[in-house]
Chain A
Amino acid sequence: DQQVKQNSPSLSVQEGRISILNCDYTNSMFDYFLWYKKYPAEGPTFLISISSIKDKNEDGRFTVFLNKSAKHLSLHIVPSQPGDSAVYFCAANQAGTALIFGKGTTLSVSS
């Protein structure tokens, strides 16, 4: 039973354009949602998070949107850069518990 789903295995975007990565979840008890970025041969690194009581959180080029009624969140990257090419994981948890991860989406940004 996958509680966090990333249904798009890959996404290709041109440099300077917007990248939109999507994530769906099934557990309405999740309190927090996080995005992690992973380069090959490295561990995942934290990118941005959002509380379940918010609908938007922005940090520089990265914005996460949360739609609780649809149990859906998305990560927007504007503008996309070649260095953003990586695997992006969506994760969620209830306060104090371990993160549950999706399968990831591989983003490729071409120059």
Chain B
Amino acid sequence: EAGVAQSPRYKIIEKRQSVAFWCNPISGHATLYWYQQILGQGPKLLIQFQNNGVVDDSQLPKDRFSAERLKGVDSTLKIQPAKLEDSAVYLCASSPRDRGISGANVLTFGAGSRLTVL
């Protein structure tokens, strides 16, 4: 099966500019996640979608970050305006598990989009 696709792989912008990342999850996966990984840290959840509804966006800095998942498939993560501390790898992941169903929640990750803010 095809993996999780992300683009662009690399992006360099000036602070206060905007940027958008795109993710196409594994076909049929109901749940989609965006994680932020800062250098030297583990991935940190930004937002979780179940189909096209938001399940958890408690750690999303909503004054500058936004995300949507149209038609329950592709997703876009936007940052506007960007700050220096937003420099990180943005990882998209998907999983077939519905919320509440037991079993290990194995996420499949894309290769990530590396953002550098100057």
Contact = CB atoms under 8 A, between A and B. Distances in A.
Interface of A: 4, 6, 31-32, 34, 36, 41-46, 49, 51, 89, 91, 93, 95-104
Given A32-B103, A34-B106, A97-B48, 18 more contacts: A32-B104, A41-B111, A43-B93, A43-B111, A46-B107, A46-B108, A95-B100, A95-B105, A96-B98, A96-B105, A97-B105, A98-B33, A98-B48, A98-B56, A98-B105, A99-B45, A101-B44, A104-B42
B99 A102 contact: no
B33 A51 contact: no
B57 to A, nearest CB: 11
B3 to A, nearest CB: 8
A98 B93 CA distance: 10
A31 B106 CA distance: 13
Interface string B67-81: 000000000000000
B2 interface: no
B20 interface: no
Contacts of A96: 97-102, 105
B4 interface: yes
